Structure 1
Amino acid sequence: MIDHITVAVSDLTKSRLFYERAFAPLGYTLSFGKENVFWAFDIGNGCLFEIQQADSASPLTCIHVAFRAKNRADVDAFYQSALAAGARDNGAPGPRPDYAPDYYACFILDPDGYNIEAMINQPLDKA
C-alpha cells in the first residue's frame, strides 16, 4: 500500500490553497506541515498526499513515493532487493525518530533517480 506521495511544487503557498479547495469535496484535509517547506493532506486510511517547495534543501526528489511495509524485516528486504536490482542508496534502513517516534524506513533512488521509500510507523513490538 502507498503510505504517502510527495510532489515538488513551484509555489508552496499557492499550491496549499489550491489543494485545500480542490480536496474539500473529497473530504481530504490539511493534516500537518512546516511553513515554507511542505504540507501534508490526509487522504484517508492513514495515507497522505504531500507537497513540498521545489527549491527546498530536502533530500526528496520532484516525486517521492513511500510504500507501507508490514514489518521492519520487509523494509530491510526491500532495500537489499532494490540495491541488487540496480537502485542507488539514498538512506539505509533504520529508525527515523525525527519523522515520528516509531518510524523505520529506507530510501533508494530508482533507475530514473526518483526517491522511493519503504517504511513502517509502528512500535518495534508490533513491527
Structure 2
Amino acid sequence: MIDHVTVAVSDLAASKLFYEKAFVPLGYQLSFGEEGVFWAFNIGDGLFEIMQAASPGPLTRVHVAFRAKSHAQVDAFYQAALAAGAADNGAPGPRPAYTPNYYAAFVIDPNGYNIEAMIDEAADAG
C-alpha cells in the first residue's frame, strides 16, 4: 500500500490554500508541515504531501513511499531496486527525525523519481 505521495508545487502557500478547500468535501485535512517547505494532508490511510519545488534535499518532483511489513522487507526492496538499476538515495535505516520508529530506504528510479520503502513500527523481534 502507498503510505504517502509528495508532489512539488510552484507556489506552496497557494497550493496549501487550494488543497485545504478542495479536500473539504472528501473530509481530508491538513495534518502537519513546515511553512515554506512542505504540507501534509491526512487522506485516511496515508498522506498527500505538497512541497515547494525549490526546496533543497533528496526529494524529487514526485516522491512515492510504499509501506513495508518489516525492516527486512525494506532492506530487500533496497537491494532489489539497486540490482534492477536504481540509484541509491538513502540506505536502509532508522529516520528518527521523521518519527521514533520510522525505518526507510530510498532509491532514484530509472525516471529520476524518489521511491521509498518504509515502516513506522518498532524493530522486528528476533
TM-score range, shorter-chain basis? Answer: over 0.9
Q: Find the counterpart in structure 2 of residue 89 from structure 1.
A: 88
Question: Which of structure 1's runs of 4+ aligned residues deviate more than 3 A?
Answer: none
Cα RMSD (Å): 1.2
CA distance in 2, matches of 1:2, 1:70: 12
Q: Find the counterpart in structure 2 of residue 31 from structure 1.
A: 31
Question: What is the TM-score when the length of structure 1 is the normalising length?
Answer: 0.97
Deviation at 1:123, TM superposition (A): 1.1
Deviations 1:41-70 (A, max 9, x none): 00002x000000000112100000000000
Query: Is structure 2 residue 84 aligned with structure 1 residue 80?
Result: no
Q: Find the counterpart in structure 1 of residue 48 from structure 2.
A: 49
- Give, as a single letter, the amino acid of the residue that structure 2 aligns with 1:14: A
- Look up the SS of the partner of 2:4 in the other structure: strand
Q: Find the counterpart in structure 2 of residue 69 from structure 1.
A: 68
Q: Find the counterpart in structure 2 of residue 58 from structure 1.
A: 57
- Give, as a single letter, the amino acid of the residue that structure 2 aligns with 1:103: Y
CA distance in 2, matches of 1:76, 1:59: 19
Flag structure 1 segments of 5+ consecutive residues without an equivalent. Answer: none
Figure out how many residues of one structure are paired with residues of the other and give that number. 126
Counting aligned pairs with the same residue, the percent is: 72
Query: Is structure 2 residue 97 aligned with structure 1 residue 117?
Result: no
CA distance in 1, matches of 2:22, 2:57: 26
